Structure 1
Amino acid sequence: TLTFRPDRCGRTGGMHPEAADKAFRFWVSSVNRDLYGRTWGKRWHRGLMWARGQEFHKDGRIHFHAVISSASDDLYRLGRWSDWHALWLREFGVNKLERPESQSDIAGYVSKYVAKGGEVDFSPNFQAWQPPPMQWGRAPQQEVFLATSQNAGACGQVASPARVVNGSGAAAALSLS
């Protein structure tokens, strides 16, 4: 949850949605720079993925409820949450960053704001990570099994990468451990 301080919200106590959006994107960009370096936008995943719900306090101040994730690894292992918390606190206002316990927590968190009639938007790279497509054809699993069982060393370890042909006839390198 990312909330703006009253002194950042102008005379009326409200912040324009575009200004709030820019603040959120600045924060995400700063986290990306911290995690992936200056050229984070050139990586295959193009940085953090996020879904964000927008709500207004009773006093009219806008705040965001966001779920962020990394396509490459667990954010709790990658980053320094205390630094990201301090950045939002210093620049914009109060925040609460916490790790979800399960996928259903994430779905419930975002859908709550959809049900309230709030606006939910997504990062441009929201579906950056996609599982590899399944190749249907001549049972590639059997070929993989045969290739790995022939190369198996002690304790089932593969001594060297096996080269197999998938259902489309293209060669694919496979390294199992």
Structure 2
Amino acid sequence: MLARDLRALRKARGLTLSEIALKLGRSVGWLSQVERGLSTPSIGDLRAFADLFGVPVSLFFGHDVPEEAERGVIVRAGRRRSLGTSDSGLVEELLSPDLGGSFEMLRSEFAPGAELKTPAHRPTEEAGYLVSGRFDIEIDGNWHSLAEGDSFRFDGKPFRWKNSGEEPAVVIWVISPPVY
């Protein structure tokens, strides 16, 4: 649900409704209504939210669930929200129904030669499982080469990655709290 995702992104970044309202040039009341699902933001508003939170605007789409009983519980393979493009070398799919829980789960596919050159550092605990391919990850200055079936976990440490193999690397990645 869009409202829940927007609220989770705001909280994950430690921002108040007032701070967001100021940055977007909107009222606190309107933002509160959006977070409660009482108002629907325009596509321009969604682009502004995406820029503010540093996420692709595509994250806010793909919420339609055909069966109400599955909403917030089940994510069907053909209805995952896709993040990123093949041009970037990293395509991710949100496996979690939304960003409102205590963690998010992603299917990340790293193209051969794809690389995160500058270390990322976020206040999260993260874990991953390499489904296929080969994958190198640097955690807190130490490089680790992973093969199919290997896994990793780290907490609040700088990291970067690369796929120096000739095949795509597929990683199931779990992040707590959600940051996408």
Would you say same fold, with TM above 0.5?
A: no
What is the TM-score with the length of structure 1 in the denominator?
0.27
Structure exhibiting the larger radius of gyration computed from Cα positions: 1
Question: Larger % of helix: which?
Answer: 1
